Structure 1
Amino acid sequence: MHSRIGLFLSPVHETGQDPHLAVRRNLDLVEHADRLNFDEAWFGEHHTLGWGLVGAPETMIAAASQRTGQIKLAHGVVPLSGHHPFHVASRAVHLDHLSRGRYILGVGPGVPFDAKMFGLAPDVQRRRLDEALPTVLELVNGDSRITQKTDWYELQDAKLQLPRFNPHGIEVAMATSGTSSSSPRLVGKYGLSMTSFALPFALMTPGAPDHIGLAQQWKYAEESADEHGRTLRREDWRIALPVHVAETRAEAFADVREGYDRWLFEYFGKAAGREVISPDTPRERALEARVEAGGALVGSVEDVVQGIRRMQEATGGFGSLLVYVADWTSYEKTNRSLELLARYVSPQITGSAARPQEAVDWAVASRAAGR
């Protein structure tokens, strides 16, 4: 039974703590999510700014595959501008085997902070993504040998020796964010899945719904799919944003307020050097501003259910919600939030709670009717 909820682990962790334990925490969290019947867990790749400690997500996915039984495990994402396409494809197929078909290959151009360290300008990142993507797709899910020469890699009659574990092929997803049409158009061109980040939109635009930008991303992808004779399915569209659930709205905001402030101002503000809040928004209302803008879901079970339904309506519908785990609160409260999502939020979104309730209603009605 699908929950339509997954995890997105950038993963970010506050500085000042033991990095080893922080890395191990991510594996524990995925194991917890697996027990709670979460559908997916995504691992990001970061090499700068101190908070994002995982630079080799394929190793985390490999480790998680041995700790879990049903949850899908995904790259979130491989920056194709910084990896040889053959190595990307080879790792993907190996992870497909290690996970017994539970692996998803997420791809994108890469984050600008890492690209700067590697000497890659934004236009070079985008060009390399365009060059490498069809090559990776053929190596992973095709059967032809590839000969190709670019200014940054060369292949001569290249083909993987290891067959795919999954005979239907490995799912490939493209990361999208912001208002750019480039990545959504690649989704449509190649018929990929799409993973959209609501995270960046609300940093400076309190009161402006993120959902508008998300809906535009899907529109770009559909337009491109029509141009290239492809068909996209909304059930293959994932939206990632921070989510925290507690028994009451007040408790949920109290749980994450201090951690959110440090994440926003220390990580995005200080480390990344971004303008993180509108001049019209007091710092003490930064969390409320993000939630109001649609850049996070924080509250009770009913608050979060209503928030997801608003997103579904405003975007026209999407397949899965990825919970961006931002380390805003204690491990115990994060675990409890995930449990509330799995036990009470997901059933209302998927409708899985309806059938047991229907049985109760039928029994009561039958007695009243003397049946």
Structure 2
Amino acid sequence: MSAVGHMRFGAFVAPFHSPKGNPTLQLRRDIELAVHLDELGFDEIWYGEHHSGAYETIASPELMIAAAGERTTRIRFGTGVNSVPYHHPYILADRIMQLDHMTRGRVMLGIGPGQLPSDAFMMGIDPRDQRDMMVEAAEVMLPLLRGDAVSRTTSWFTVDNARLQLTPYNPEGIEVAVASMASPAGATLAGRLGLSMLSLSATDARGFDALDSNWGVRERVGADNGHPADRSRWRVVASMHLAETREQARAEVEHGILDLCGYMEGMSKSKLPFATSPGAALDHWMTNGLPVFGVPTVGTPDDAIATIQRLVEKTGGFGSFLFLANNCATWEATKRSYALFAETVIPAVRDMNAGRVASIDYVGDNAGTFFGAMQDATREAIAKYRPK
């Protein structure tokens, strides 16, 4: 289905935790989610970085990865994403390199300019400068992560013949991905520097419309700069919650959807007109979408397969599908949603049971021959060993 072979699956955890809950337990569950996904066979999990707004409470994705890495064995971890202008690029690269060794090569670096303007203002950073700062930092971090020495002076940092003490755990190095939304800016940087892409808000109307065109930018700019595009390193992110029936899935998401709406209401200090009841809020979300979250898939495994197929048809194929964790359902319902996806959606998308289907078809198509021979053998054995 993916048009690039073996599609990978994972979660993108901002997170979005209600300020009505216990913040300690919420963070612990974000770590437990990595363990759960590891056991279910998911491929990766990405943790965000935010510093204000009450809901997105992970300030350091590196700390989450360090904790979850000790509790898992195979799942890969991404910073989703580091807000690069908030860090000296040498220090950030050095932390990522250490994590690469601590997790035995399971770390990926995700980079972005920073999403929340309130974060930037608290640090005295002009939001108009953030994207340029991200580019400047990326141009330094990439050679550092490759083991090169770097010297550069900008308006906000200096590196003087700087080099990291460690080299990557794996010979292929540390994968670096850049966030991409409706704007082609992320795709342009990915092409210029040879980065992977994280297409956030893939089911938002503008984000969905830009998926194929942004990939086209990645291909063209990459070709011009000697970095051929690789669809297997393209990740598409969308919000999803599954249950055995659509009605059950709706009820589970309605559990916390007004809290999620409260995030947007708190940011704007205005009441959302559709947030009058859980049902009305979910109807609006599933019809019109929400900023960042896009239009979610709230339904059954069949609905999830249809969403992924729609994304594949729009893009021409990508390497990974990531759940955008919305934290609306209870913890138990959330775990069950991921389990349903692992049990039914992953094998369907990967066509994991093609050999089994072919096997039963082969047996059925030749049943007369096989079972006829068995019956003949049985009759002969009876005749041969019948008491005289």
Give the structure 1 partner of residue 245 of structure 2: 248
Give CA-to-partner distance per residue, 1:219-247, whole Å, 9 cap, x none. Answer: 22222112212211111111112111111
- Compare 217-226 and 180-189 and name the one that shifted more: 217-226
Determine helix, strand or coil for the equivalent of 2:366: helix
Give CA-to-partner distance per residue, 1:77-111, whole Å, 9 cap, x none. Answer: 11111100101110111010011011001111111
| 1-structure distance, mates of 2:171, 2:125 | 36
Cα 1:322/1:277, change in 2 over 3 Å: farther
Unpaired stretches in structure 1, ≥5 consecutive residues: 203-207
2:133 to 128, 133, 136: 128
How far does residue 283 in structure 1 lie from its aligned partner after superposition? 4.2
How far does residue 272 in structure 1 lie from its aligned partner after superposition? 5.2
- Compare 122-131 and 293-302 and name the one that shifted more: 293-302
Identity %: 35
Give the structure 2 partner of residue 268 of structure 1: 264
| 2-structure distance, mates of 1:31, 1:214 | 31
Give the counterpart letter for 1:319 in structure 2.
G
2:186 to 171, 176, 183: 183
2:169 to 165, 168, 186: 165
Report the aligned-residue RMSD: 2.4
| 2-structure distance, mates of 1:277, 1:146 | 52
Give the counterpart letter for 2:333 in structure 1.
K
Give CA-to-partner distance per residue, 1:261-297, whole Å, 9 cap, x none. Answer: 321x201232356897899xx6462132147996222
Cα 1:134/1:351, change in 2 over 3 Å: same
| 2-structure distance, mates of 1:3, 1:228 | 27
Cα 1:107/1:256, change in 2 over 3 Å: same
Kept in 2: contact 1:188–1:223 (CA 8 A): yes
How far does residue 361 in structure 1 lie from its aligned partner after superposition? 1.7
Aligned residues: 361
| 2-structure distance, mates of 1:77, 1:43 | 7
| 1-structure distance, mates of 2:162, 2:65 | 25
**1:222 lines up with 2:219 in the alignment:** yes
Determine helix, strand or coil for the equivalent of 2:70: helix
How far does residue 328 in structure 1 lie from its aligned partner after superposition? 0.7
Q: Report the structure number with the largest CA radius of gyration.
A: 2
Kept in 2: contact 1:3–1:347 (CA 8 A): no
Kept in 1: contact 2:257–2:282 (CA 8 A): no
**1:303 lines up with 2:299 in the alignment:** no
Kept in 2: contact 1:36–1:342 (CA 8 A): yes
| 1-structure distance, mates of 2:62, 2:223 | 33
Give the structure 2 partner of residue 236 of structure 1: 233
| 2-structure distance, mates of 1:338, 1:296 | 15
Alignment of 1:332-347 (within 5 A): 332-347=332-347
- Compare 344-353 and 225-234 and name the one that shifted more: 225-234
| 2-structure distance, mates of 1:274, 1:107 | 31
How far does residue 170 in structure 1 lie from its aligned partner after superposition? 0.3
| 2-structure distance, mates of 1:167, 1:192 | 17
Alignment of 1:95-110 (within 5 A): 95-110=99-114
Alignment of 1:1-371 (within 5 A): 4-111=8-115, 112-141=117-146, 143-177=147-181, 179-198=182-201, 202=204, 208=205, 210-263=207-260, 265-271=261-267, 283=281, 285-290=283-288, 295-370=295-370
Give the counterpart letter for 1:83 in structure 2.
H
How far does residue 359 in structure 1 lie from its aligned partner after superposition? 1.6
| 1-structure distance, mates of 2:198, 2:324 | 12
| 2-structure distance, mates of 1:312, 1:368 | 41
| 1-structure distance, mates of 2:307, 2:273 | 22
Cα 1:346/1:269, change in 2 over 3 Å: same
Unpaired stretches in structure 2, ≥5 consecutive residues: 372-388
| 1-structure distance, mates of 2:335, 2:324 | 13
Determine helix, strand or coil for the equivalent of 1:67: coil
Give the counterpart letter for 2:226 in structure 1.
G
Kept in 2: contact 1:212–1:315 (CA 8 A): no
Give the counterpart letter for 2:140 in structure 1.
T
| 1-structure distance, mates of 2:112, 2:206 | 24
Give the counterpart letter for 2:16 in structure 1.
V
Cα 1:259/1:363, change in 2 over 3 Å: same
Q: TM-score, normalised by structure 2?
A: 0.87
Kept in 2: contact 1:241–1:323 (CA 8 A): yes
Give the counterpart letter for 1:250 in structure 2.
E
- Compare 82-91 and 216-225 and name the one that shifted more: 216-225
Give CA-to-partner distance per residue, 1:187-208, whole Å, 9 cap, x none. Answer: 1111111011116x73xxxxx4
| 2-structure distance, mates of 1:303, 1:244 | 10
Cα 1:349/1:92, change in 2 over 3 Å: same
Kept in 2: contact 1:80–1:109 (CA 8 A): yes
How far does residue 260 in structure 1 lie from its aligned partner after superposition? 2.4
Kept in 1: contact 2:222–2:229 (CA 8 A): yes
Cα 1:277/1:308, change in 2 over 3 Å: farther
